[in-house]
Amino acid sequence: MSTSAKKTPSSAQPPNEQELRLQANQFSSELKAIAGKIGELELQLDEHNLVIKSMTPMPEDRKCFRLINGVLVERSVKEVLPALKTNRDGISSTITQLTSQYKKRDQEFSDFQKLHHIRIASA
């Protein structure tokens, strides 16, 4: 029990400058990664919407091609359109989740900066 008592005071010490810099860089890199993924998914969502818009007026028995795991497969519009809509909805919900995660993480970073009096210098 004396070892845990010794750890408590050392953990109460404020982090040094290097630790703060590492934590700030970690926050920044996480935010950039989330933002990059959101951008990537938004592009996919736009592509799905474009394809759905162009396929909707087509007859259901018309043949179309779909790329699945690098293999081009021949299907009908009737088979492909529901799958595209399901994928689009999944991408949209993922974007919503990532956006809320980004906002939460950004708020944590902002709180971290205020707590430790950190200002990020603009290049």
Q: How many CA atoms lie within 13 A of 73 on its CB side?
A: 11
pLDDT at 109 over 90: yes
- The 10s digit of each residue's pLDDT in 42-85 is 999 999 999 999 999 999 999 999 999 999 999 999 999 999 99
| Token pair for 49 | 């919407």
pLDDT, position 1: 46
Residue-level pLDDT at 56: 96
The answer, yes or no, to whether residue 102 has pLDDT greater than 90, is: yes
Q: pLDDT value at position 15?
A: 80
